[in-house]
Structure 1
Amino acid sequence: MKFCAVVVIAPDDLEQAAIEKAKKAGASGITILTGRGIGDENRKTFLGLTFEGSQSVLLMVVAKQLSQPILKAMRDVLVDDGNSRGIAFSMGIDHLTGIEMSQVMKFEQHMHDLDEEN
């Protein structure tokens, strides 16, 4: 079975929606990190203090076939009326260790369920 890493960077207020959509699309485990980002716009200041909104970074290792459905689900969360509030991407994984067989079985069951739906 081939695997992909799916990375989602979203504002904190979209974290729960992204998690729910990713799970519904087949992600069985998600690592959540807190991050800060710098875009091309100027940083906002208030009384001389710089405001930087925090972001959630969601990391998922999934079966390669699940990466596209998860990315499509993330588009539903992150893009509103043509405006994007985050980014999501996938990367292939050449080598992997430490994944439990129960996770592999969940991926295989999810893929089987998707095949039966179609």
Structure 2
Amino acid sequence: MKFKLILAFVDDVKTEAVMKAARECGATGATVITSARGEGINEKKTFFGLALEIHRDVLLFLVEEHCCRRILERIAEVAEFDEKPGTGIAIQLDVEDAIGVAHQIKKLTPFVEEDL
């Protein structure tokens, strides 16, 4: 079984919705890194010299490669990446090797066989 890593940078208020949507598409869980900061094309907004920043979470999903695109598209939909600029991004990376995922393989096997 081959895996991909999805890195999703989302507004912290959307983390739970993104997690739920990813699970519905085949993700078995994620690691959440809280309070990340990002910068985009536009300059940061300030109020009396103080930066107004939206807190972001970084979600790391290790997913089976056949489920990856579906999960990625669903994350983008739920997090509204294409509707509003500055809402976040998600990328996928190939995973050369992974250990500690035997329990996930048992759960994923029927799910993946359904797609094939």
Q: Could you tell me the TM-score, scaled by structure 1's length? A: 0.85
Residue by residue, what CA displacement relative to the aligned partner does 1:28-49 show, whole Å, maximum 9, x if unpaired? 1110012110112121212222
The corresponding residue for 1:37 is: 38
TM-score (norm 2): 0.87
Gap regions ≥5 residues in structure 1: none
What is the rounded CA distance, in whole Å, between the counterparts of 1:39 and 1:27 in structure 2?
28
Q: How many residues align?
A: 114
Matched position secondary structure for 1:8? strand
Q: Which amino acid aligns with 1:46?
A: F
Distance 2:55 2:3 in 1: 29
Q: Give me the whole-angstrom Cα distance separating, in 2, the residues matched to 1:80 and 1:86.
A: 6
Aligned to 2:9: 9
Over aligned residue pairs, what C-alpha RMSD do you find?
1.8
Task: Classify 1:40/1:80 alpha carbon distance in 2 versus 1 (closer, same or farther; 3 Å).
Answer: closer
Q: Report SS of the residue matched to 2:99.
A: coil
The alpha-carbon distance between structure 1 residues 40 and 94, as it changes in their structure 2 partners (threshold 3 A), is same
Aligned-partner residue type, residue 55 of structure 1 = R
The one-letter code of the counterpart of 1:19 is M
- Separation in 1 of the partners of 2:100 and 2:79? 31
Shift of 1:80: 6.8
1:94 aligns with 2:96: yes
Q: Percent identity?
A: 30
Q: Aligned with 1:104: secondary structure? A: helix
- Give yes or no for contact 2:66–2:115 (8 Å, CA) kept in 1: no
Shift of 1:9: 0.8
